[in-house]
Amino acid sequence: MSLLVVGSVALDSVETPFGKADEVLGGSANYFSASASHQGPVKLVGVVGDDYPVEKLEPLKARGVDFAGLERATGESFRWRGRYRHDLNSAETIETRLGVFSNFRPKLPEAFTDSEYVFLANIDPRLQLDVLRQIKKPKLVASDTMNFWIESRRGDLLELIKHVDILTLNDGEARQLTEQANLVQAARWILARGPRTVLIKKGEHGAFMFTKDSIFFAPAFPLESVFDPTGAGDSFAGGFMGWLARTRDLTDENLKRAVVIGSAMGSFVVEGFSITRLLEITRDDIIRRVAEFHQLVTFDRKMDA
Amino acid sequence: MSLLVVGSVALDSVETPFGKADEVLGGSANYFSASASHQGPVKLVGVVGDDYPVEKLEPLKARGVDFAGLERATGESFRWRGRYRHDLNSAETIETRLGVFSNFRPKLPEAFTDSEYVFLANIDPRLQLDVLRQIKKPKLVASDTMNFWIESRRGDLLELIKHVDILTLNDGEARQLTEQANLVQAARWILARGPRTVLIKKGEHGAFMFTKDSIFFAPAFPLESVFDPTGAGDSFAGGFMGWLARTRDLTDENLKRAVVIGSAMGSFVVEGFSITRLLEITRDDIIRRVAEFHQLVTFDRKMDA
């Protein structure tokens, strides 16, 4: 398995109705890696400041995450402080300090340049493009983005998506990017501009996968208690890409399974702060939850009454 | 099949980004009947004023809707005027004129009192209770409600749900009624107070069916264009109850199928104003859409890679 992620390695401080956590592992690349590591090894490219408690990354190393691409720069690490209210639907950002992340210029170690499965987490699309140029022969490239880049780097983002196989974004971002209120039309708009697959994430309302010929939907798992929604999207991506890199099978059928595995990983991560739950669960837990997803949506369509 | 609905028979005036309709058939009982009539005959109980264009009900009569329980009172019919904005998510009510509906006291014709499948559409829970008392031996009673009754008739509503098998309500209403932000917990709260099944409708985000031992979810069908969302919930209920009344099969498996048939009917009705689309579609259209739902969510959960 040859899976690469480029993204943020941060320190999060989060408050939810159920508790608070200070300076815990955060950032898209951490969440992605913790999730994907359940399928196989992951190569990570990112940057931290000289204040980052790198010993906290040990559990990820032990799970097969290769940090050879983690640059240590002089200065402060990326920190995010946020709060979720009662309904847990949207994070309220209290403070974002980019620190060394604002000067991040991803540089792939030579050994990473032959990665086949690549996830470009949410960073400046110019950097995402730059990463792509460093990879010799990618087999599958997926890219995430966010409202900030859609607004401020629209041209670069449109250039980027010409070169990616899969674009992942949330429903609000899909509408913003395409100026289409209808998600089916939004997906078509994107599919006409490069990607052959679009994953539209709707948070607690599940995720759609669109291709030119098919639509697949997986609900979010109906959990009795959601503890901290941070990282659900990147954990989803980690499960999705991890499964594809593990199986090396890009059929429609396997992509659907990957979406459900992604949804399962998203449902685990929100059961605790940071990546805690992703470090606890086993392969059996994942298989069990995928089976629960199957039960949740499966019906017999026979209508001969 | 012996299916009864008690609810509103109204005249709607609706404006959407795609057009407008004036004084068209509306009201929960009309939508429910138009939808359920695809499965078999429906008995309707409601009230209209002496200004109601009853000739507009002819297509429903032709489809097997029995209007023997439609009272004609002196005065104005129930009228609703609303508007949907660009995102079509929520109706903005411009005007509600209850007219004769405000004095509605449902009185079942003798021939209706042996109905077995009963849908109590969204009316005052005291009237819903009163209807229940008039029915000799119901086999399955489902009831809808809304924020207004949850606020103003909480005690009556809680009394009502002791006597219904299925409660249908939307996610916001479920949270309001139970004071639980989490839907799984909200469903449990309701299941502990009478109903053995709870249907939580999330509009464009699909619908959950909860029982004590199981959770089932059906997405809303991803339509490329939604024309007018009015009536989706009652058409959902019509498909659901119509199917159960037709098949007389209350197994879990058949309830799941009923949820999907309900979702299919909800997806048709929003393709046009009023009940237009429900009058156009055929049994084959329904079977085809149910198959599309099946494709939308079906995956192979085998994970032995």
Q: Which residues pair with A66 in a beta bridge?
A: A43
Contact B295 A214 (CB under 8 A): yes
Return phi, psi of residue B282, to 5°.
Answer: -115, 175
Task: For residue A278, give the DSSP letter.
Answer: H
User: Chain-wide mean pLDDT for chain B?
Assistant: 96
Coil, strand or helix at A202: coil
Q: Write out chain B residues lying below 8 Å of A221, CB-based.
A: none
| CB-CB under 8 Å, A256 with B300 | yes
Is the predicted pLDDT of residue B211 greater than 80, yes or no?
yes
Q: Torsions phi, psi of A195, nearest 5?
A: -60, 145
> What pLDDT is stored for residue B145 in this prediction?
96
Return the residue of B nearest to A298 by Cα.
B298
Interchain contact, B296 vs A217, CB within 8 Å: yes
For position B284, what pLDDT does the model report?
Answer: 97
**Residue contact A296–B215, C-beta within 8 A:** yes
* More confident: B79 or A1: B79
Q: Among the listed ranges A85-99, A137-151, B178-192, B236-250, which one has the minimum average pLDDT value? A: A85-99
> B303–A290: do the CB atoms touch at under 8 Å?
yes
Nearest to B294 among A225, A287, A301 (CB): A301
CA distances from B126 to A7, A134, B120 (A): 58, 70, 11
Q: Which two tokens stand for residue A160?
A: 């980027």
The pLDDT assigned to A1 comes to 66
pLDDT tens string B131-155: 999 999 999 999 999 999 999 999 9
Nearest CA in chain A to B296: A216
Query: Which pLDDT score, from 0 to 100, does residue B50 have?
Result: 96
Distance between CA atoms of A46 and B59, rounded to whole angstroms?
Answer: 65
Say if the Cβ atoms of A298 and B296 lie within 8 Å: no
State pLDDT tens for residues A214-255.
999 999 999 998 899 999 999 999 999 999 999 999 999 999
ipTM value, please give it. Answer: 0.94
| Residues in chain A closer than 8 A to B257 (CB atoms) | 299-303
Q: How far apart are CA A170 and CA A163, in angstroms?
A: 20
- Best of A176, A296, A297 to disrupt the B interface (most B CBs within 10 Å) is A297
What is the pLDDT, as a whole number, of residue A202?
Answer: 95
Rounded to a whole number of angstroms, the distance from the CA of B91 to the nearest CA of chain A is 16
pLDDT of residue B86: 74
Q: Is the whole model's pTM more than 0.90, yes or no?
A: yes
Residue B277, number of CB atoms within 10 A of its CB: 21
Q: Percent of chain A, pLDDT > 70?
A: 99
Q: Which residue has the tokens 């798992």?
A: A221
How far is the alpha carbon of A221 from chain B, nearest alpha carbon, in Å?
Answer: 10
Chain A CB contacts of B247 under 8 Å are: 305
* List of residues 6+ apart from B74 with CB closer than 8 A: B49, B50, B100
**Positive or negative: CA dihedral B267, B277, B84, B125:** negative
Question: Closest Cα of chain B to A107: distance in Å?
Answer: 32
Contact A296 B219 (CB under 8 A): no
Other Cβ atoms within 10 Å of B105 Cβ, number: 12
pLDDT higher than 70, residue B1: no
* Residues on chain A touching B225 (C-beta within 8 angstroms): 182, 185
CB-based contact B222 A208, cutoff 8 Å: yes
The pLDDT of B232-238, averaged and rounded, is 97
What percent of chain B has pLDDT above 90?
A: 94
CA-based nearest distance A162→chain B, Å: 24
pLDDT, tens digit, 9 for 90 and up, residues A106-147:
999 999 999 999 999 999 999 999 999 999 999 999 999 999
Q: What is the mean predicted confidence (pLDDT) over B22-38? A: 98
Would the CB atoms of A206 and B206 count as touching at under 8 Å? yes
Asked if residues B243 and B259 have their Cβ atoms less than 8 Å apart, the reply is no
**Of the candidates B87, B182, B202, which has its C-beta nearest A225's C-beta?**
B182
Q: Are A39 and A246 in contact (CB under 8 A)?
A: yes
Distance set, CA A188 to CA A180, A215, A237 (Å): 10, 11, 21
Which pLDDT tens digit goes with each residue over A223-234? 998 899 999 999
* Crossing angle of helices A28-36 and A232-247, rounded to 10°: 40
Is there a contact between A218 and B259 if contact means CB atoms under 8 Å apart?
no
Assign domain B3-297 to a CATH class: alpha beta
Per residue in A44-98, pLDDT (tens digit) is 999 999 999 999 999 999 999 999 999 999 999 999 999 998 777 778 999 999 9
Q: Which token pair is B126? A: 């005291």
Q: pLDDT digit string (tens) for A143-161?
A: 999 999 999 999 999 999 9
* Confidence grade of residue A304 (pLDDT, cut at 50, 70, 90): confident
Positive or negative, the CA dihedral A41, A58, A35, A177 is negative
Token reading at A135: 């990879």
Is the pLDDT at B305 greater than 70? The verdict is no
Write down the pLDDT at residue A249. Answer: 97
State how far the Cα of A227 lies from the Cα of A16, in Å rounded to an integer: 7
pLDDT at residue number A305: 64
Q: Which tokens go with B155?
A: 């005690």
List Cβ neighbours of B82 (8 Å cut-off, separation of 6 or more).
B12, B13, B14, B15, B91, B92, B93, B94, B230
With beta carbons less than 8 A apart as the criterion, state whether A88 and B181 touch.
yes
